[in-house]
Amino acid sequence: FGPWADVVEKKSGSPYADWFMIQDWDAFERHGDTRDGRFYSFAFTDRMPKLNTNNPEVIRYFCQVCKRWIREFDIDGIRFDVGNEVSHRFLKELRRQLKSVKPDLYLLGEIWHDASQWLGGDEYDSVMNYPFRDAVISYVRDGDCGKFSDTVTGICRRYPKCVLDGVMNFLGTHDTERILTV
């Protein structure tokens, strides 16, 4: 990613320095696990720095990239990996801009827990329904109808109908143990 390469080369002198969440410039060049807090990264991997998704320039950049994909390739949707680690500010502005280009664009968040706070109509259209997956597996394994019913009822109460109509129900993904082994 060009902005990160520029930061690696120019450190705090890079115009992209604020695009990332770097806490300790003195220790920035150290390689390996980032649990020491020198900068935020996904899974503490130094090769996957987290973007500062509250930065207006970062928001503007990704809005432009996504609009280009919509216009040039007529994409119908975007899935946000680890969607709960993207700022609300980013999602609200991205949605506003992208829906102005393609009103029926589908914005899907990968969130492994209750995603109610992202489903108010101004961020994601829907989410990957991990709680439902877990409820199905638990029911098949344990046979507890009451627990299954409580979980599904809870999902239905927390998520608006328009979300439920388009929620991504599944039993497995590349991120989960395969259904046949659980």
The model's pTM is 0.90
Q: Is 90 helix (H, G, I), strand (E, B) or coil?
A: helix
Q: Is 150 helix (H, G, I), strand (E, B) or coil?
A: helix
**Kind and range of the H or E run holding 107:** strand 106-109
pLDDT > 90? residue 78: yes
Give me the phi and psi of 104, to 5 degrees please: -95, 15
Q: Is 81 a catalytic residue?
A: yes
pLDDT tens for 118-139 read 999 999 999 999 999 999 999 9
pLDDT of res. 97: 98
Mean pLDDT of 101-111: 97
Active-site residue, from 93, 110, 123, 125: 110
Confidence of residue 166 (pLDDT cuts 50, 70, 90): confident
pLDDT > 90? residue 180: no
Mean pLDDT score across all residues of the chain: 95
Q: Which residues pair with 107 in a beta bridge?
A: 78
Q: Is 18 a catalytic residue?
A: no
Q: Which of 54, 139, 140, 69 is nearest to 107 (CA)?
A: 69
Active-site residue, from 57, 81, 144, 175: 81
